[in-house]
Structure 1
């Protein structure tokens, strides 16, 4: 009887995991079309409205009606749009991995404390320089976007190494989750102390960084952001089978021959690299990592990571581009905090999760 029940459960799971093959390319093609439209939209709209056809001409290397449009698109809007697309894709995929690994629908890319580590790195530079009142260091560029990205990268990398070390030692993903939360609390406490003893100007600079922005990445920084994000996404694609096996629990995955510890380390490394890189260059972008995986599951009605990972890439990129577009308030010179916009997108999704999937009862519906 137990064997029959287990076989039935596996069959049901497989039916939900493996959607019909003919549906997958059509759905992903539709999402790719929407993502491309959002990308062109972000290049067209802003304080200066540039017609779609002129944007296409500029991307093709042709001369538009106005020469200044080329500068606006290539030097300002294109790197920002690429950054938004990469960040949205990275956070969406990282959130999907964390929710699957911890079997928690409210897990996000920063659950391991990587974001807090990045924030600590930035706080040490911004608030530390402010506390020392060393004007020479500030003039030398320690408060530039590049230095903030470097500081956040060091902080996120340090936490990543600590988490990977812990992942080799602990047997349970729940224990790893708790340890990640404790790391987050510790780093947040240090940041709070730095804030308390810092001067007002430096506190304002740090708070501005926490608002999040896709507009601070230059073409030089893109040479780091794009390859590192690509490596993290590639690792996520490689781990697709491991993620699918973990959907039914670690015991089932182990019975299927999966090396749980090695899979956990790979998933943690991929998720932390993706989240840490985005935080380093864009600041702590909230809610996208939670919301995007659930949107993809709802749109595609599937739990198969073979389709969810590319879907998260496309939907995440689209959501980030639209959020950035809304933050720019097209037609005006007003720039809204990016995290305020992503919260407006993500918070309703989280509420929907709680009401629809019974998070309070500890269930993990996919």
Structure 2
């Protein structure tokens, strides 16, 4: 009873924090907008055209995507850590992020060498998005083919890391032969950004995110069974190979889509699940899944606020902010794991 009330309290607090950070993300930035004016605009009665444009066409889609990125990558990380039984596994461990990066690199640099930089830039950001989706999908297909032949999750983890190394090497070669302007365009994408998202792109992200999250929550019982080992899961009727494929598909859908539109966002998927576990004294995914999603959403909104440097006209790369948060958490996880082992 005490654990249930503690979980409910945390759920309510994190939900309220998510709402607060969402509103703050709409109000804060290079141009501060009063709360009453923002509420009028959201409810369709605002008169200031400048504030209306800033909120409805810029900040609102950006805040929604921040929620999708935080919740989607965090839930993907939770599933990866359960699947591989590794506290440092994340949504990009199967090379999905590297595949998306390779797609963008081929589009911006290889296509630039063949057709010219001007022709590539003329297609705008939409071409980069399609390239990232195709790159992530190809790596996902390769991973799925390997998962059909490999029964050991550790071996699959190593294969995913090797895929990432191969794609990283190809990207490095492309950078070496490309002109500085093209390399700069690719590097800007790798920094990660929530800005410049249009409503048509938000709709695509929303559909992919909704499908992935619904499927992830549907796997709660199977994920709980995986915690006790694959042999136990098999004994209660869980098809481990099929479950592994489904988790890979869900992670690829969520992480691949988000990476395509906002760039590779690091550390969120690794760090946030541990924040949800801390103090919960339970590994039940019925509790962990919603907490992880809400923690990720609230933190990503907070990071977006910090990256905008409220009151200034400059914006920090979102990857820099997430790394400043995520790296210490990963270090804490490593030391915490070592201390637990030394206690036995």
Give the structure-1-normalised TM-score.
0.89
Q: Report the secondary structure of 1:58's partner residue.
A: helix
Q: Corresponding residue for 2:193?
A: 213
Instruction: Detail structure 1 runs of 4+ shifted over 3 Å in the superposition.
Output: 18-26, 359-363
Q: Report the secondary structure of 2:326's partner residue.
A: helix
Q: Corresponding residue for 1:335?
A: 315
For the residues of structure 2 that align with 1:114 and 1:360, how far apart are their CA atoms?
Answer: 31
Please tell me whether the aligned partners of residues 99 and 138 of structure 2 are also in contact (alpha carbons under 8 angstroms).
Answer: yes
Q: How does 1:25-174 map to 2 (within 5 A)?
A: 25-63=8-46, 66-132=48-114, 134-135=116-117, 137-138=119-120, 140-141=122-123, 144-174=124-154
User: Cα deviation per residue 1:187-223 (whole Å; 9 max; x = unaligned)?
Assistant: 1111111111111111111111100001132111112
* Aligned residue among 230, 238, 255 for 2:235: 255
Q: Corresponding residue for 2:295?
A: 315
Q: Corresponding residue for 1:188?
A: 168
User: CA offset at residue 28 of structure 1?
Assistant: 1.6
Q: Report the secondary structure of 2:278's partner residue.
A: helix
User: CA offset at residue 26 of structure 1?
Assistant: 3.4
Please tell me whether the aligned partners of residues 211 and 339 of structure 1 are also in contact (alpha carbons under 8 angstroms).
Answer: yes
User: Cα deviation per residue 1:74-126 (whole Å; 9 max; x = unaligned)?
Assistant: 01000111111101111100000111100111111100000000000000011
User: Cα deviation per residue 1:314-360 (whole Å; 9 max; x = unaligned)?
Assistant: 11111111111111100000111111100011011011111112289
Size of the alignment, in residue pairs? 343
Q: Corresponding residue for 1:14?
A: none
For the residues of structure 1 that align with 2:20 and 2:264, how far apart are their CA atoms?
Answer: 26
Pair 132,178 (structure 1): closer, same or farther in 2 beyond 3 Å: same
Please tell me whether the aligned partners of residues 117 and 182 of structure 2 are also in contact (alpha carbons under 8 angstroms).
Answer: no
Give the structure-2-normalised TM-score.
0.95
User: CA offset at residue 52 of structure 1?
Assistant: 2.1
Please tell me whether the aligned partners of residues 22 and 301 of structure 2 are also in contact (alpha carbons under 8 angstroms).
Answer: yes
Q: Report the secondary structure of 2:316's partner residue.
A: coil
Please tell me whether the aligned partners of residues 73 and 91 of structure 2 are also in contact (alpha carbons under 8 angstroms).
Answer: yes
Unpaired runs of at least 5, structure 1: 1-17
For the residues of structure 2 that align with 1:238 and 1:49, how far apart are their CA atoms?
Answer: 41
Pair 244,134 (structure 1): closer, same or farther in 2 beyond 3 Å: same
Unpaired runs of at least 5, structure 2: none
